[in-house]
Amino acid sequence: MNNKKWGERLSKRFLQSTGDKDSPLHYQTLRRNITILMLLVTIIPLIFMAVINYLEYKSNLKSEIINPISILTNKTVHSIELYMEERLSTIRSIASFYSFEDLSDEKTLSRIYRVLKKEFTGFVDLGIIDENGMQISYSGPYELLNKDYLQQIWFQEVSIKGSYISDVFLGYRQFPHIAIAVQQFEPDGHAWILRATIDTDKLDNIIAAMGLDPESDAFLVSGEGILQTHSKFCGNVLEHCKLNIPMGSYRSQLIEEKNILGKDVLIAIKHFAKQDFALVVVKPKSVILKSWYALQGEMLLIFIISISIIIVVVLKVSNMLVKKIREADERRELAFRELEHSQKLSSIGRLAAGVAHEINNPMAIINEKAGLIKDLYQNTSDSEKTIKLIKIADSIIGAVGRCRNITHRLLGFAKRFDIELEMLSLNDVIIEVMGFLDKEALFRKIDIQLDIDEDLPRIFSDKGQIQQVFLNILSNSMSAVKDGGKIIIRSWDEDVSRVGASIKDNGCGMSKETLAHIFEPFFTTKKEYGTGLGLPITYGIVKKLGGDLIVKSNENEGTDFTIYFLKKSKTE
């Protein structure tokens, strides 16, 4: 398989593998896909972790916040029950220590009442009721002597159960109070009741001791939903509670509901063991979960910051990756172009070597025959025909010499002869090459300006091949400019290892598409006048000498060829 077909197949395979990678859409799609993939890989686990932590924290924190409310409610109920039980025990003790006759004595009852008022808080009055429901002795601030309680429900209940603690009620006193009564039997079998009333201020004080915040509420409620103590938001004593409080259960309850203002509240309910009471604690969820909401806000802020950082990092990383991929694609395409170019140059080299070999053989024969003819006639006579024949033989020998120089160059392009290295001045080479083109430049009125470094270091290279490089480039520049155009030739010391030269014209310039193919063999824009070998050969010579050739051009703005030569050739 020849090199041309191999190069075409390699080019086709490369294009199939890379696709249209020069298109910005390709890299935009690649950047988008990488960004989406990285965001999914990083954000989805973060979201899962945030949701799990959110639920766990909410559950634990809610328990830690709600449990104290339940504990506080239980303690308060226990305190109220203890208070009521203490008062009931006091009345029971009095009934046991004193007889019916003793307590029927108003002085004795008054003395006991004063002791109760002094030693125990909350007692309002004290009275003795016989088995017929008649209050026969009374000590207190009201006129309740001889009041008949026979038809009262509490009288019937205490007669059956032996003791009684009432709900809060008004009764004859017309202020909220609680009645406590115990039944006692005389030796003769007659029953009597010692009854006392206590106010509800102590209950309010016990509830106030809970230390609730101003937005919270706590109160006692009876089994019928009647308020037993004052409530901030649900009504006054003996009014029906405005909240729907579930009764009939003796276990602690915790429910969520809306209050009369429409706010979400958490209601803790603790029922009394012996009385049909329940302590109700109402706390707004915003107050209970204040710390949770603060933590929730902090978690949300951290989550948003984390997402923002991830997005910024992902965008930067994806841009960097796509940039690296694009640079790698460009380097690979450049390597492919150079490989393709090398293959074409190799093909041209083999073709040039074959052509040179085929031409050199007949040229050698022609040169020998022409020399033989000259030798045969040179000493025979001095006739006009002999002289003319000898001139013709010299012309043939001269033409053969020119053909030898041409084939010599072709063989040089094919790398078939050694480079002749010498110390030389790049400025002198430039001036010598300009001498070949002076007449054409003068005829076409082309302004060739020299801007050379007089102190330019000498280089160690091949003079003939450098001459060919400048000759080819100058020929292209003169073809590109119109009559009266301008060409600027410069030289300078680039760095410690290289010198530079440039040939810049103000000609027609080249398009990007043309610029991409100028070093390809047989590519030409001169149609039938060009061979497409000048610049490829020039590029091959510069590379062979260890230098570099850079071309910049814009249509209708001109072209700038920059050549770098090594001060000490790598082929030395």
pLDDT in tens, 13-52: 444 444 455 567 878 888 888 888 888 888 888 888 878 8
Number of domain units in the chain:
3
pLDDT score recorded for residue 16 = 46
Looking at residues 499-518, what average pLDDT do you find? Answer: 84
Is there a domain that residue 280 lies in? yes
Q: Which of 413, 443, 468 is the last residue of a domain?
A: 413
- Return the structure tokens found at 104: 């029927």
Closest CA to 395 of 371, 360, 378: 371
Closest CA to 203 of 232, 177, 181: 177
Is there a domain that residue 257 lies in? yes
Is there a domain that residue 69 lies in? no
Q: Do 559 and 458 share a structural domain?
A: yes
pLDDT score recorded for residue 23 = 63
Is there a domain that residue 385 lies in? yes
Q: Do 554 and 432 share a structural domain?
A: yes
The single-letter code of the amino acid at 281 is: V
Q: Do 394 and 335 share a structural domain?
A: yes
Indicate which CATH number applies to the domain containing 557. Answer: 3.30.565.10
pLDDT score recorded for residue 35 = 86
Per-residue pLDDT band at 502 (split at 50, 70, 90): very high
pLDDT score recorded for residue 315 = 87
Predicted confidence (pLDDT) per residue in 90-145, tens digit = 999 998 889 888 888 888 989 999 988 888 888 889 999 998 889 999 998 888 88
Q: Do 530 and 434 share a structural domain?
A: yes
User: In the chain, how long is the greatest CA-to-CA distance?
Assistant: 194
Indicate which CATH number applies to the domain containing 369. Answer: 1.10.287.130
Q: Do 323 and 280 share a structural domain?
A: no
Q: Do 557 and 431 share a structural domain?
A: yes
Indicate which CATH number applies to the domain containing 257. Answer: 3.30.450.20
Given a cut of 90, is residue 182 above it in pLDDT?
yes
What is the pTM assigned to this prediction?
0.47
- Return the structure tokens found at 519: 């070093």
Given a cut of 90, is residue 202 above it in pLDDT?
no
State what percent of residues in the chain have pLDDT above 70: 81
Predicted confidence (pLDDT) per residue in 358-388, tens digit = 777 788 888 787 777 777 777 666 677 777 8
Looking at residues 298-316, what average pLDDT do you find? Answer: 86
Q: How far, in Å, CA of 47 to CA of 42, rounded?
A: 9
Closest CA to 95 of 39, 165, 162: 162
Given a cut of 60, is residue 8 above it in pLDDT?
no
Is there a domain that residue 302 lies in? yes
Q: Do 384 and 477 share a structural domain?
A: no
Distance of CA 131 to the CA centre of its chain: 87
Looking at residues 270-299, what average pLDDT do you find? Answer: 77
Q: How far, in Å, CA of 61 to CA of 288, rounded?
A: 10
Q: 100 versus 528: which is more confidently predicted?
A: 100
Looking at residues 511-525, what average pLDDT do you find? Answer: 73
Is there a domain that residue 474 lies in? yes
The single-letter code of the amino acid at 449 is: Q
Which H or E element spans position 37?
helix 24-97
Looking at residues 347-358, what average pLDDT do you find? Answer: 70
Residue appearing with tokens 């790049």: 426
Q: Do 538 and 466 share a structural domain?
A: yes
Residue appearing with tokens 């030739």: 489
Q: Which of 413, 435, 452 is the last residue of a domain?
A: 413
Q: Do 225 and 352 share a structural domain?
A: no
| Owning domain of residue 317 | 292-413
Provide the mean pLDDT of the chain. 80
Predicted confidence (pLDDT) per residue in 422-470, tens digit = 888 888 888 888 877 778 888 888 888 888 888 888 888 888 788 888 8
Is there a domain that residue 73 lies in? no
Q: Do 540 and 427 share a structural domain?
A: yes
pLDDT score recorded for residue 29 = 86
Q: Which of 264, 288, 312 is the last residue of a domain?
A: 288
Q: 294 versus 27: which is more confidently predicted?
A: 27
pLDDT score recorded for residue 136 = 92
Q: Are strands 135-139 and 447-451 parallel, antiparallel or unpaired?
A: unpaired
What backbone torsions phi and psi does residue 164 show, to the nearest 5 degrees? -160, 135
Cβ atoms of 150 and 133 closer than 8 Å: yes
Looking at residues 233-237, what average pLDDT do you find? Answer: 82
Q: How far, in Å, CA of 570 to CA of 572, rounded?
A: 5
For residue 23, CA distances in Å to 28, 318, 329, 363 come to 9, 18, 12, 54
Is there a domain that residue 278 lies in? yes
Q: Do 264 and 296 share a structural domain?
A: no
Q: Do 363 and 475 share a structural domain?
A: no
Given a cut of 70, is residue 293 above it in pLDDT?
no
